[in-house]
Every structure is written in structure tokens, then in C-alpha cells.
């Protein structure tokens, strides 16, 4: 293949901010990096799936790989409708919600990765050489994801001094939910936090925090059903909740009202995930931060333009839900950029990670985002206005 002197070619196998493959050989030739072993024994790495013009490159463009969830707000970027300026984007196969964060955490992601916003704080404290775009692909209110054994818990104070389970310590949602419990009068340090599996957060937890892994052959969901633990926090809807198991319920059954009141009080629609990129790439091509942010923004605007039409969704009250959300959260709840509102939002998650688990000084947003992220002019431009007639 003809070498493009102004093009970085990357492939899955990210380690230390440089990707394994041809780019490593070029980097070694230029004295910029040492080769890595690429695919580790037993590691099932996925090949990027090009959704643009096959293997053909655009002269003078930087080729970057990308791994994100299958969101409507990213679809136009993935299918090539939106093309980031100066970048050839290669889209990687999405491994699924349960695996994407572990893949990125272990260094097997792409150049651009959707990543757990709490795990990112821990990784940065430990010296990982990536940074983040001001793009927040996943947000969600979380009061409705705190589950309890109904025979043992009737109000938040019933959880004081008890045992609360989770799949892992470090799901981004878990930091928010532990903070909600604290706000409701359930001290973090009064709880024994029980988890199914080890992760970066449990390994980084400071001494004195009461954590324990479930016994072999058990899991927190069954332990909640059996009354062995009193509560559970989960980033996902569980079968026991979806199928209305009578033994469990939500701590706040009227969670929508609780979440609406929380937003009115705090102004926070909680950020779950960030979008990482190697510091090496930003150092060499600082303009990619703005280019990618604007491309994500345009893709989101196209999604909004599509989804505003109630004809495309088989829900009877879809339009009224859209209007209700807009009245409460404003025209763009998925705002990108380092606005004051986003800084307060993600800054809250950073503080929760440090307050709950870590030692050492709390990182600033300047520690976590490149200076180019703060230099992007706000508000971001309007690329597509609503086309009415639906």
C-alpha cells in the first residue's frame, strides 16, 4: 500500500496512545515509539469495520478508528453522512454495552472511544495517556435504578448500615446513585458495598471503604431476591424489575417525579460517558478536537431532525413525551462542549469518584480535557434546522 506521509493509519490494539500495526512501524522509523506486541494471547480483538470508502484514503487526512455505542445521535457519523473535517474515520464493530468499557480500559479500544466517565477519572489518575473530547454520548437519570428487597426496605433510611450490591464498583451510574443515597441520608461509609466482579474501581478503592466480592457461585441479583443483601444499584434494567418480581422494587417507585425534581433542583442531567482520544494524536493534530466535536454535533442535530417526527416511532404518546422533555430539559439535553453547565455536570461525577473511592487531590477538568476543548466557541453552530411538515 502506498504510504501517505500526512496520514496516520490506525488499527485495533491500542496501547499507550499508539495503535498496533502499520502506524507503529512508521512511528518506530521516526523514533516516536516502540513496537507493541499487538494482540495478546487469549484476547479476542475485533477488526475495525470501514463504513466509508473501503480501504481508500483521502490524501492529507488523518485516519482514525472509532468505537462507540449504537446511538441515533451518532448514526450519521457512522454511516458517513457526516464527515469530520480533515479526518478519515474508520468505524469499529460495537462489542456490546457490557464489553465496550472493559475493552477500552484494558487498552483494546480504538483511537476514539466512548468510555465510562468514572473509569476515565481513575485511568487518568493512574497515568493513562489519553484525553477526552467534550462529547458526552450517554446521559441518564438514575434514581429509578436503585432496587431494594421490599420485605426489608421501605424508605432510604432503612438502608443505613446495610449491604448494597452491584455488578461492579465502577459503573459510571453507580457513582451517581451512591451520591443520591448520601443526599437521602444514607451515609456512604455506613454501607457494605458488595460486587460481582473486580474492575479498575474496586482495585483502586482506598483502604477503609467497606467492599467485598460475592462468594463464588452467587450474584448480587439473586442475593437481593433472597434477602441476603438489602439493596442493589445497577446501570441496567434487570429481569426482576422488568418482570415485576414481587420480592423487589425501586427505592423510589415514583422515580420519574423524583428525577424531575432532582433536575429542577440541581440542573444536572447526569453524564455517564466521555469520548477519549490519545494525547499523542491531540499533540500532533490539535485541530482534531474541534473537528470531531463539530462532527458529533452535526450528527446529533441530524438525529434530532429525524426523531422529532412522531410518524417514525410506534408509540401513541411519543410527541407529548418529546414536548415534555423539551419543557423540562431544554432543546438539547445532550449538549456538547465545555459549557458551564457541562463543567458542573461532569465535575460532579469527578468529585464523586474521588470522594467515594480514591485518595489524593481531586483532579480538575483541565487535568481531564485538553486546552483545545475549552477553546471551542460556544454555542456550537447550527448545522441543520428543523424541517416541519410531519
Q: Are residues 117 and 211 in the same domain?
A: no
How distant is the alpha carbon of residue 262 from its chain centre?
21
Nearest to 113 by CA among 104, 124, 122, 123: 104
How far apart CA 1 and CA 19 sit, in angstroms, is 18
Can you name the residues that pair with 146 across neighbouring β-strands? 233
Instruction: Return all residues near 25 (Cβ < 8 A) that are at least 6 apart.
Output: 35
pLDDT at residue 33 in the model: 36
Report yes or no on 169 lying in a domain.
yes
Question: What single string gives the DSSP state of each residue in 303-328?
Answer: HHHHHT-GGGS--TTHHHHHHHHHHH
How far apart CA 342 and CA 233 sit, in angstroms, is 24
Nearest to 280 by CA among 291, 272, 288: 288
Q: Are residues 161 and 130 in the same domain?
A: no
Kindly state the cell numbers that stand for 246.
Answer: 414481587
Dihedral class, residue 274 (left if φ above 0, else alpha if ψ from -120 to 50, else beta): beta
Report yes or no on 254 lying in a domain.
yes
Q: Are residues 157 and 249 in the same domain?
A: yes
DSSP E strands: which ranges in 85-135? Answer: 87-92, 112-116, 130-133
Q: Are residues 160 and 85 in the same domain?
A: no
Q: CB–CB of 373/134 below 8 Å?
A: yes
Look up the domain containing 158 and give its range: 143-266
Report yes or no on 5 lying in a domain.
no
pLDDT at residue 56 in the model: 60
Per the structure, the count of domains in the chain is 2
Q: Are residues 35 and 96 in the same domain?
A: yes
Report yes or no on 307 lying in a domain.
yes
List the pLDDT tens digit at each of the 390 positions of the chain.
333 333 444 433 333 333 333 332 233 334 333 333 333 333 344 444 444 434 466 678 999 999 999 999 999 999 999 999 999 999 999 999 889 999 999 999 999 999 999 999 999 999 999 999 999 999 999 999 999 999 999 999 999 999 999 999 999 999 999 999 999 999 999 999 999 999 999 999 999 999 999 999 999 999 999 999 999 999 999 999 999 999 999 999 999 999 999 999 999 999 999 999 999 999 999 999 999 999 999 999 999 999 999 999 999 999 999 999 999 999 999 999 999 999 999 999 999 999 999 999 999 999 999 999 999 999 999 999 888 998
Report yes or no on 15 lying in a domain.
no
172-183 vs 340-356: helix axis angle to the nearest 10? Answer: 80
pLDDT at residue 50 in the model: 45
Question: Three-class SS of residue 189?
Answer: helix
Domain boundary among 266, 281, 314: 266
Report yes or no on 41 lying in a domain.
yes
Q: Are residues 135 and 282 in the same domain?
A: yes
Query: First-to-last CA distance in the chain?
Result: 49
CATH number at residue 214: 3.40.190.10
Question: Three-class SS of residue 142?
Answer: coil
Instruction: Return all residues near 319 (Cβ < 8 A) that are at least 6 apart.
Output: 310
Q: Are residues 338 and 289 in the same domain?
A: yes
Q: Are residues 262 and 277 in the same domain?
A: no
pLDDT at residue 92 in the model: 96
Domain boundary among 266, 293, 327: 266
Kindly state the cell numbers that stand for 350.
Answer: 469527578
How far apart CA 177 and CA 168 sit, in angstroms, is 13
How distant is the alpha carbon of residue 285 from its chain centre?
24
Torsion angle of the four alpha carbons 159, 161, 163, 164, in this order, in degrees rounded to the nearest 10: 50
Report yes or no on 329 lying in a domain.
yes
Q: CB–CB of 358/125 below 8 Å?
A: yes
Tell me the whole-structure pTM to 2 decimals.
0.86
Nearest to 49 by CA among 80, 16, 6: 80
Nearest to 253 by CA among 352, 144, 138, 358: 144
Q: Are residues 162 and 214 in the same domain?
A: yes
Q: CB–CB of 148/249 below 8 Å?
A: yes
Q: CB–CB of 111/65 below 8 Å?
A: yes
Report yes or no on 179 lying in a domain.
yes
Dihedral class, residue 105 (left if φ above 0, else alpha if ψ from -120 to 50, else beta): alpha
Kindly state the cell numbers that stand for 197.
Answer: 466482579
Cα–Cα distance list, 341 to 96, 268, 270, 364, 380 (Å): 30, 8, 11, 15, 14
Question: Three-class SS of residue 377?
Answer: coil
Kindly state the cell numbers that stand for 331.
Answer: 432543546
How many CA atoms lie less than 13 Å away from 80 in the CB half-sphere?
9
Domain boundary among 266, 282, 301: 266
Q: Are residues 78 and 165 in the same domain?
A: no
Q: CB–CB of 161/138 below 8 Å?
A: no
Q: Are residues 128 and 276 in the same domain?
A: yes
Q: Are residues 26 and 132 in the same domain?
A: yes
Q: Which residue pairs from 218-227 have beta carbons closer than 8 angstroms and sit at least 24 positions apart in sequence?
A: 220/165, 220/166, 220/167, 220/194, 220/195, 220/196, 221/165, 223/165, 223/194, 224/147, 224/148, 224/149, 224/165, 224/248, 225/149, 227/149, 227/151, 227/152
Q: CB–CB of 199/169 below 8 Å?
A: yes
Amino acid at each position: 500500500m502506498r504510504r501517505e506521509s500526512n496520514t496516520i493509519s490506525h488499527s485495533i490494539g491500542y496501547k499507550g496512545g499508539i495503535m498496533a500495526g502499520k502506524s507503529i512501524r512508521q512511528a518506530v522509523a521516526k523514533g516516536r515509539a516502540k513496537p507493541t506486541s499487538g494482540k495478546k494471547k487469549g484476547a479476542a480483538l475485533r477488526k475495525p469495520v470501514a463504513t466509508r470508502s473501503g480501504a481508500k484514503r483521502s490524501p492529507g487526512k488523518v485516519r482514525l478508528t472509532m468505537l462507540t455505542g449504537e446511538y441515533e445521535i451518532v448514526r450519521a457519523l457512522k454511516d458517513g453522512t457526516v464527515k469530520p473535517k480533515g479526518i478519515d474515520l474508520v468505524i469499529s464493530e460495537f462489542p456490546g454495552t457490557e464489553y465496550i468499557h472493559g475493552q477500552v480500559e484494558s487498552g483494546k479500544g480504538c483511537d476514539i472511544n466512548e468510555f465510562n466517565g468514572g473509569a476515565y477519572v481513575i485511568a487518568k489518575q493512574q497515568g493513562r495517556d489519553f484525553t477526552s473530547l467534550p462529547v458526552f454520548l450517554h446521559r441518564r437519570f438514575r434514581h429509578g435504578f436503585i432496587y431494594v428487597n421490599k420485605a426489608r426496605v421501605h424508605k432510604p433510611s432503612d438502608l443505613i448500615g446495610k449491604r448494597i450490591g452491584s455488578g461492579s464498583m465502577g459503573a459510571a451510574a453507580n457513582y451517581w446513585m451512591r451520591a443520591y443515597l448520601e443526599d437521602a441520608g444514607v451515609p456512604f461509609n455506613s454501607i457494605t458495598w458488595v460486587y460481582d466482579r473486580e474492575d479498575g474501581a474496586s482495585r483502586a478503592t482506598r483502604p477503609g471503604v467497606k467492599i467485598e466480592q460475592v462468594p463464588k457461585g452467587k450474584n448480587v441479583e439473586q442475593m437481593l431476591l433472597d434477602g441476603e443483601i438489602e439493596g442493589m444499584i445497577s446501570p441496567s434494567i434487570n429481569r426482576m424489575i422488568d418482570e415485576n418480581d414481587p420480592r423487589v422494587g425501586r427505592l423510589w417507585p415514583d422515580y420519574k417525579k423524583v428525577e424531575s425534581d432532582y433536575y429542577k433542583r440541581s440542573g444536572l442531567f447526569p453524564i455517564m460517558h466521555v469520548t477519549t482520544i490519545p494525547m499523542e494524536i491531540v499533540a500532533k493534530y490539535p485541530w482534531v478536537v474541534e473537528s470531531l466535536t463539530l462532527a458529533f454535533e452535526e450528527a446529533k442535530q441530524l438525529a434530532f431532525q429525524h426523531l422529532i417526527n412522531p410518524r417514525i416511532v410506534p408509540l401513541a404518546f411519543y410527541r407529548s413525551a418529546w414536548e415534555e422533555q423539551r419543557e423540562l430539559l431544554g432543546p438539547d439535553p445532550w449538549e456538547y462542549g465545555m459549557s458551564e453547565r457541562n463543567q458542573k455536570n461532569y465535575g460532579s461525577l469527578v468529585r464523586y469518584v474521588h470522594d467515594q473511592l480514591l485518595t489524593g487531590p481531586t483532579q480538575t477538568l483541565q487535568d481531564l480535557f485538553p486546552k483545545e476543548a475549552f477553546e471551542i466557541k460556544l454555542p456550537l453552530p447550527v448545522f441543520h434546522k428543523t424541517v416541519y411538515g410531519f
